[in-house]
Amino acid sequence: MLKAKPAPAVKFDTGAVIATIAGLMVSVAKTPALVQVEINKLRKAKLTIGTIKQNCALALRFQTAFDAAGVKPTTRDNYLAAVRQAVNQGIEFDFNPSRAKAKAMGKTTKASKPVDNTPAIAKPATPTTPATPAGQTVSAPKTLVNQPSDAVEAVAVALSNVRASCTADTWKAVIILHPALGAFLEKVQGVWVEGKAVVIPAAPIKKKAAK
């Protein structure tokens, strides 16, 4: 019975991979995708990265590479922590893993938020002010008129104001077209309590002499 030949050993240069990762992380481009390619090699080799305090050989190699590139100690430690998490935990590499984790948690929370199926209660419609014809001003809203006499008074005041703003010829033309307006103003003369409103009497209509 023939024995199977052992598979040839694959050489893996850990130092070269670490140098490549460090070079990519301190480069101007800082492309996480390229760093991820090299991290996958460390995962495939089933390596685990410890800390500098633990005197981990891999961590010390990263420290040497970052120090040689002139990286500040604080930034160096953050870079090493990012690589360690990506290799040991099998997560996608990110220069700021804490931010990436928080962002992923936010997406999960948003997706799992229960949907409120409670029917919405329609808000009562806000009363709108009727449109005002061009050239006229809108007066402040007043209380509702409850008595017919008050309504008559309000109409008379409005007509009096219109009469005051018209020229004599204009008002004369209005009365000719709508004689009931003039009759109305004449009828309410002297009926109101003094001081409530001032009625401007309509101009008398002159009848044309019969030929």
Instruction: Give yes or no: residues 85 and 163 share one domain.
Output: no
Query: 29-38, 77-86, 190-199: which has the minimum mean pLDDT?
Result: 190-199
**Structure-block tokens of residue 191:** 């009926």
93 and 19 in a single domain? The answer is yes
Residues 27 and 78 in one domain: yes
Residues 75 and 154 in one domain: no
> Which among 48, 77, 102 is the end of a domain?
102
Tell me whether residue 193 is in a domain.
Answer: yes
As for how many domains the chain has, the answer is 2
Per residue in 88-110, pLDDT (tens digit) is 999 999 988 777 677 667 666 56
Residue range(s) defining the domain that contains residue 55: 14-102
Mean pLDDT along residues 13-40: 90
Same-domain check for residues 24 and 75:
yes
26 lies in the same domain as 91: yes
Structure tokens at 8: 């040839």
Mean pLDDT, range 192-203, rounded to an integer: 48
The pTM assigned to this predicted structure is: 0.45
pLDDT for residue 77: 93
Structure confidence at residue 195 as a pLDDT band (50, 70, 90):
very low
Q: How far is CA 155 from the centre of its chain?
A: 48
Length of the chain, in residues: 211
Mean pLDDT of the chain: 76
